[in-house]
Amino acid sequence: MTFNRQLLIGVFLTIIIASGVYYYFQQNQLKDIKIGITVALSGSSAALGQDSRDGMIMASEELKDKGVSLSLIFEDDQYDIEKTVTAFNKLLYFDGIRYVVTFGSGNSLAICPLAKEKRVFQVAISSDPKVLEYEYTIKVGSDPNEFGKSLAEEVIRRDYKRIYIIVSNYPAIYAFIDEFQKREGIAGRVIGESKVDLSETDFKTVLLKAKESNPDSILLEIIPGRVGILAKQAREMGITVPLFAAGVFEDQTAIDTAGGALEGQWFVNPEVSASFIKRFQSRFNRIPGREATNGYDSIMLIGNAIKEVGDDPVKVNDYLHKILAFDSDSVVGGVRVEKGNFIKVNVVKIVKGDTFVVYSGP
């Protein structure tokens, strides 16, 4: 073999190897896509944040089986807006993220303009539709209009006439109550209201006030880590009227702390598939709360979009703002999509033992 022929073969092999290395590198870029996540993993909202986190973890594990491998980087912001901003800056400048998931309405709104400026694609787990005013943000999570409508319809069907409201003193949570009270047919049915701090654990004063007003029902919209405690204290004080809520009963912490006080009580929330519940219980050894599906869907939306249009946050953003439907693996019947707003449709459920079932009448 002549020297020139050897040289040509060597050059040819080098090109083949280099092409293979380049292709391997390009393929493996999609296997190290960093997703920054700011979420409450400690503090008064930890139960919500932990459910959301675990839903995200499960989604990332299932996406890996589909060929999309994501690296989730969690930052505990303790549901504190200043800590959320600090966490985002750390994720952006230290970890180099181009995608972020934020948890909570006020927390998400604080990040929206920063995400837009830096062209970081944001999924906001938020009830506040104002996040949709920012072009690099889509919204997943509780929808005040949907919850207000669902609550009002069931209250009218049950013909409650003397409703007392106990709600957490937090704008995003109160948005549900505000929408409920605006609904046709609700005026005149609410006889009183009390707001409580997120960290409150002794509800005897507000419960006494509610009891003295002689209600025929009590609407509770406080965080899951506290609602079970309140329900238990209500029953201990001899309050036997129906308790109802916009989703917060559907949480393992609520059931555990209620000591049976929530048994048979109703609430509105999306219908979660039996498959999702089974998978979540198998993975985390507990029932999923409502934020588990929101966390799951947030990561699924990013992962599915990346698989469809590639790892460019601008293209992912355009894609998810244009799609008209999302067949979620976590919620029966999927969700309604309105220009980047992914809205889960509610059904009426009741607490039954340590689980939740769709209410079937009368």
Bridge partner list, 125: 103, 140
| pLDDT category of residue 63 using cuts at 50, 70 and 90 | very high
189: its two tokens: 């049915």
Q: H or E stretch including 355?
A: strand 355-358
The pLDDT confidence band at residue 17, using thresholds 50, 70 and 90, is very low
Instruction: Choose among 244, 253, 317, 249: nearest CA to 286.
Output: 253
Position 252 scores a pLDDT of 82
Check: CB of residue 261 under 8 Å from CB of residue 103.
no
> What is the structure's pLDDT at 51?
92
Phi, psi of 317 (to 5 degrees): -60, -45
What is the pLDDT at residue 10?
Answer: 52
Q: Which domains does the chain have, with CATH numbers?
A: 29-142+273-344 (3.40.50.2300), 144-270+348-358 (3.40.50.2300)
| pTM of the predicted structure, to 2 decimals | 0.83
Mean pLDDT (the chain, rounded): 89
Q: How far is CA 272 from the centre of its chain?
A: 13
Residue 2 pLDDT > 80: no
Q: What is the pLDDT of residue 155?
A: 98
DSSP string over 228-277: HHHHHHHHHTT--S-EEESSTTSSHHHHHHHTTTTTT-EEEEEPBPHHHH
d(CA 304, CA 316): 9
Q: Say whether pLDDT at 321 is over 80.
A: yes
Per the structure block, which two tokens stand in for 153?
């319809």
At residue 14, does pLDDT exceed 70? Answer: no
User: Environment class of residue 359 by beta-carbon count within 10 Å: exposed (0-12), middle (13-18) or buried (19+)?
Assistant: middle
**Mind listing the pLDDT tens digit for each residue in 217-274?**
999 998 777 999 999 999 999 999 999 999 889 888 889 999 999 999 999 998 888 8
